[in-house]
Structure 1
Amino acid sequence: MRVLVAPDKFAGTLSAVEAAEAIAEGWRRRAPGDEIVLAPMSDGGPGFVDVLHATLGGELLAVVTRGPHGETVPATVLVVGDTAYVESAQVCGVHLTGGRGGESATTAGLAPVLRAAAASGVRRVVVGLGGSGCNDGGAGVLGALGATADVPLERGALGLDGITTLDLARARDALGGVELIAATDVDIPLTGLFGATKTFGEQAGIAEERQAGVDGILEQYAALADRRRSLDPGAGAGGGLGYALLLLGGTRVSGIDLVSEAVGLADRAREADLVVTGEGAFDFSSRAGKVPYGVAAVAADALRPCVAIAGRVLVGAREMRALGMDAAYSLVDVVGEERAVTDPAGSVATVAARVARTWSASG
Structure 2
Amino acid sequence: MRKVTAILLAAVLVVSMTIPSIADAQVSTRIKDVAKVQGVRSNQLVGYGLVVGLNGTGDDSNKSKFTIQSIGNMLKSFGVIIDATQVKTKNVAAVMVTANLPPFAKAGDTIDITVSSMGDAKNLQGGTLLQTPLRAANGQVYAVGQGAVSTGGYVAGNGGASQRKNFPTAGNVPNGALVEREVPMSFTDKDNEKITLSLSQPDFTTANRISEAIGQNFGQIALPQDPGTVTVEIPSYYSNNLVAFIAAIEELSITPDNAAKVVINERTGTVVVGGNVTIDQVAVAQGGLTVKIGQTKNVSQPSPFSYGDTVVTTDTSVEVKEKPAGLVELPDSSSVGDVVASLNAVGATPRDIISILQAIKAAGALHAELQIM
Q: Say whether the fold is shared (TM-score over 0.5).
A: no
More helix by share: 1
More strand by share: 2
Q: Structure 1-normalised TM-score?
A: 0.20
TM-score, normalization by structure 2: 0.20
